[in-house]
Amino acid sequence: MRLLVVTTASSATAVLPALELLGHAVRLAPVDIRALVDDPGHDVLLVDARLDLADARATCRLLRNTGLGAPLIAVVAEAGLIAVNAEWGLDDLLVTGAGPAEVEARLRLAMERSPAAQEVTGAVRAGDLTIDPDTYAARLRGQPLDLTYKEFELLRFLAQHPGRVFSRDQLLREVWGYDYYGGTRTVDVHVRRLRAKLGPEHESMIGTVRQVGYKFVAPPVRHAPDNEPALRR
């Protein structure tokens, strides 16, 4: 398992000593939200919350709001447990003195519960939008969207991860593949075309997160007024 420990400490074992006895690949990283969101090289993200609870809480909330895909776990001192609540947006919590067996179990369970570990299959539905990966067809309010292959793949990928923010580099890797040598402007061009084809009423489905990237914003299902018959499809 690949662990990324967000801390100012000089070693991961200073944050969670049990890691020294476990065979995971561990890296350290500073608090840099944009870099953390863009870093695909970890399975679980651990945030050091032993000393500065307020700063750690802000970091965890920001990571969760940017749609972090990997499980998010805070490491706290025992005295700090009272300050942790649901607003942190955590997947789990570890006390810095936890033993190897407990740490291993919590890491494994966090991985197993993670949506990123579950294969996304079947049709994707979001409000008036339906995406069928088997037929490569996308429909909006029952009407087919005239999408190119890459436009379809980009829309499908974003819609499969609603609310999660992806950088341009991540989208290039996931949609165009590692062997693609074009620049990130390709993503901007395809997003612009997708928004145009979705139309003014639905272009907001592809949201921009300033200085980070793009995300899919799932719209509410539109219901016909009581005095108006529902549209037949």
Task: Provide the pLDDT for residue 189.
Answer: 93
In the chain, what is the straight-line distance between the N-terminal and C-terminal CA atoms, in Å? 47
d(C-alpha 15, C-alpha 77), whole Å: 9
| CA proximity to 177, closest of 205, 197, 211, 149 | 149
CA distance 115 to 90: 14
Compute CA distances 51 → 9, 81, 96, 140, 149, whole Å: 11, 12, 11, 50, 49
Predicted pLDDT of residue 197 = 94
The 3-state DSSP class for residue 215 equals strand
Structure tokens at 50: 């032993």
Q: What is the pLDDT of residue 198?
A: 93
Whole-angstrom Cα distance, residue 25 to residue 44? Answer: 11
Where would I find the beta strands (DSSP E) of 58-123? 72-76, 92-95
Give the 3-state DSSP-derived string for 3-62, with helices as H, strands as E and coil as C: EEEECCCCCHHHHCHHHHHCCCEEEEECCCHHHHHHCCCCCEEEEECCCCHHHHHHHHHH
List the beta bridge partners of residue 28.
Answer: 5
- How big is the chain, counted in residues? 233
What's the pLDDT at 73? 93
Report residues of the chain scoring pLDDT below 50.
118-121, 221, 223-233
At 147 the pLDDT is 92
User: 145-148: which pairs have CB atoms within 8 A and are 24 or more residues apart?
Assistant: 145/197, 145/198, 146/197, 147/194, 147/197, 148/193
pLDDT recorded at residue 195: 95
78: region left, alpha or beta (phi > 0 left; psi from -120 to 50 alpha): alpha
DSSP 118: S
Q: Which pTM does this prediction carry?
A: 0.52
